[in-house]
A and B are shown apart, each in its own frame.
Chain A
Amino acid sequence: MKIALSKENILGLIALALFVVMTIIAPGFLSAENINNMMFQLPEFGLLALGMMVVIITGGIDLSITYTAALSGVSIAMMQSHGYPMMISILVGILIGLACGFMNGFIVTRIGVSPILVTLGTMILFEGVILSITKGNSISGFSDWYNLIGNGYYLGLIPLSMIIFIFFAVVTSVLLGKTYWGRCVYMIGSNSVASLFSGINTSRVILKVYLYASFLAAISAIIMTSRYNTAKVDLGSSYLLQSVAAAVLGGTEIQGGYGKVVGTVYAVMIFQILSNGLNLLEVPRTIVNVIMGAILIAVLVINFAKTKLGNKDRMQVTS
């Protein structure tokens, strides 16, 4: 029997191999404390990467995703520091995140401007809004309960944030794989005109895509602010390009039409294991970035070589 290796399976194996390698070469990698560290760091990035992936599947991109997160994080922080109850603050934070997503989705679908331009504009806009609100300062003053979200454990074992991430990874996977909306996301990513002509309300689907991405960004913001106990303008901004990289590394087609949650999750894990393991090996943080960039490009080069070899005589008969 032959087991076909999908893109995602290969990535899973790479993640596993990396894990094994790091266990062997990096001292303390497998220690409970270190595993814990990784589990606390992964969710915030993972959520952003999932949001980015969904947008990329439609053939778009959301450059404003980290500032959306930062804006909702800052709003939550401000509300709490002004004494509003935690739940209300979180709710408002999520709503503000959704408003950002709505703005992106509205301009993309109603006016029809290409997503990269729209989100480039809103990215600068949201950053400006945060700066104007915070005057560049960081804001803190969260309740103890709030701090639990990013730092607490579920059943004293698994980080709460990890549970949140797993929950949303499963939700995203079900939404994409099993619902009408998810199917439409793939169809639109492959061919938006034919999708429209098939009776899909493409505008509504895409609007929901940007809303969903911003929702995940807001959830990520809650975890981040809770974990750092502070919120400022550059909250999570280093994740912007990383989340694109994770989606692409995870097999998502940058032109749209293909992408799987499991691939992105594996990619996020690869990034996490690498950055953590290399850190333990006392490789400077900066070099870790270099290695991640190199991996991204290496994977694409390998993909290219693979399709090139496979495609050699696979041209279609045209009449």
Chain B
Amino acid sequence: MKSIMKKEASIAVIIIILSIVLSFINPVFLTIDNILDILKGNVVLGILAMGMTLVIITGGIDVSVAAVTTAVCVVIGKLLVMVPDHIGALFLLLVIACLLGIILGGINGFLVSKIEIPAIVVTLGTMSMINGIVLYVTNGQYLNSTDFPKVFLKFSNIKILGVSILIWLFFLIAILTWFLLKHTVMGREILAIGGNKESALRVGINFNKVQIFVFAYMGFLAGIAAIAQISYTKAVDPNGLSGLELSVIAAVVLGGTNIMGGRGTVIGTILGVLLLGIIQNGLILARIDIFWQKVVVGLIILLAVSYDHIQYKRAQAQLSRIEIDS
């Protein structure tokens, strides 16, 4: 058990060190408000990263997440200005968002599993298509919150125990994903496939079903992330999420999920999301030019994956040692 959590522990240590340094640079960092801001600002990233964790564990990847989320945002945005100002309508929209996400994710899953097209190619294709449709429909125009029903605006401002409902939503999704991965048969099958696909087939795991599931779940979370995104920005911006898919992948990888599949935890991904969030926030607080953010993030990704790989190689070398007579 100890060794399994080693990766997560080292990310946690990095986060702690970074936090200490940042709080010296700017005492604002450690205030509760700031921390809640960081969390709230990364809810969308975090929700998507949960789904991406599962996709990457099975050895796949989904670069269409930002596009799917945007598509759902746009549809929900259009509906928001039409629906009556009633709590039931809100609930209905949530259901629609999730269903739409599941359908779009399911298409990816179908193409990856049944047609056996590599996940990166499939999702590149669907991403390009979805983005095209979204821009065609919206003309790239920003949709403002002025016409949104009041109940929706109220919803997005709810705080429970002083914490925004969006943050609660994120934790709810994290717990759901953790439970799924840890305690359901589907979750174990996801890990099993990532561990050894051939063996999974031999013990009768339905590979297609699992693959379709992870992509559909990714889509489902994209639906939820869309609601969170609209709530957070109180607007629908067809270009607002462009490039987010790479941050999502970065967060998952930083969190210790192996890009070749087979390994990954919810805790790790949460830490990965936090790390990205803290870096961004810290750079702002440290009054470092906003343009340097990406440099830092890029460097951190490179260092993290390099370090991880060196560790892996060392472990392999250790495994292949043989006993020598002295």
Contact = CB atoms under 8 A, between A and B. Distances in A.
Interface string A286-300: 111111111011001
Contact of B121 (A111, A132, A291, A296): A296
A114 interface: yes
Contact of A293 (B120, B127, B136, B301): B127
A131 interface: yes
Interface in A51-71: 61, 63
B303 to A, nearest CB: 9
A118 B132 contact: no
A286 B132 contact: yes
Contacts of B135: 285-286, 289
B111 A287 contact: no
Contacts of A63: 246
Contacts of B259: 114, 116-117
A284 B137 CA distance: 10
A245 B127 CA distance: 12
Given A111-B310, A131-B291, A286-B133, A121 B298 contact: yes
A285 B134 CA distance: 12
Contact of B124 (A117, A127, A296, A301): A296
Interface in B28-54: none
- How big is chain B's contact interface, by range? 35 or more
A287 B313 CA distance: 46
A218 to B, nearest CB: 19
Contacts of B126: 293, 297
A181 to B, nearest CB: 26
Nearest to B253: A117
Contact of A132 (B63, B118, B131, B291): B291
B174 interface: no
Given A107-B306, A286-B136, A294-B129, A255 B118 contact: yes
Interface in B295-320: 295-299, 301-302, 305-306, 309-310, 313
Interface in B184-206: none
A185 interface: no
A118 B305 CA distance: 8
Contact of B309 (A112, A131, A242, A285): A112
A241 interface: yes
A128 interface: yes
Q: Is the interface of A mostly helix, strand, loop or mixed?
A: helix
B57 interface: no
B107 to A, nearest CB: 10
A78 to B, nearest CB: 15
Interface string B238-264: 000000001001100100000110000
B132 A128 contact: no
B14 interface: no
A113 B131 CA distance: 31
Contacts of B63: 241
A135 to B, nearest CB: 6
Given A241-B127, A245-B125, A290-B128, A117 B301 contact: yes
Nearest to B289: A132
Contacts of B85: none
B293 interface: yes
Contacts of A127: 294, 298
A244 interface: yes
A122 B302 contact: yes
B129 A124 contact: no
B186 to A, nearest CB: 26
A122 B121 CA distance: 21
B269 to A, nearest CB: 16
Contact of B302 (A107, A116, A255, A287): A107
A194 to B, nearest CB: 19
A248 interface: yes
B13 interface: no
A297 B302 CA distance: 31
Contacts of A296: 121, 124-125, 128
B120 A254 contact: yes
A244 B136 contact: no
A119 to B, nearest CB: 10
Contacts of B133: 286-287, 290
B263 to A, nearest CB: 14
Interface string A111-154: 11110111011111111110110011000000000000000000
B147 interface: no
A191 to B, nearest CB: 17
B254 to A, nearest CB: 10
B295 A125 contact: yes
Interface of A: 61, 63, 107, 111-114, 116-118, 120-129, 131-132, 135-136, 241-242, 244-245, 248, 254-255, 284-294, 296-297, 300-301, 304
27 contacts: A107-B302, A117-B253, A117-B305, A118-B302, A120-B249, A124-B294, A128-B291, A128-B293, A128-B294, A128-B295, A132-B295, A136-B291, A245-B124, A245-B125, A254-B118, A254-B121, A285-B135, A286-B135, A287-B132, A287-B133, A289-B131, A289-B135, A291-B132, A293-B128, A296-B125, A297-B122, A300-B125
**Lowest 4 CB-CB distances: which A-B pairs, in order?**
A125-B298, A128-B294, A128-B295, A289-B132
Given A132-B292, A297-B125, 4 more contacts: A121-B298, A122-B298, A125-B294, A254-B118
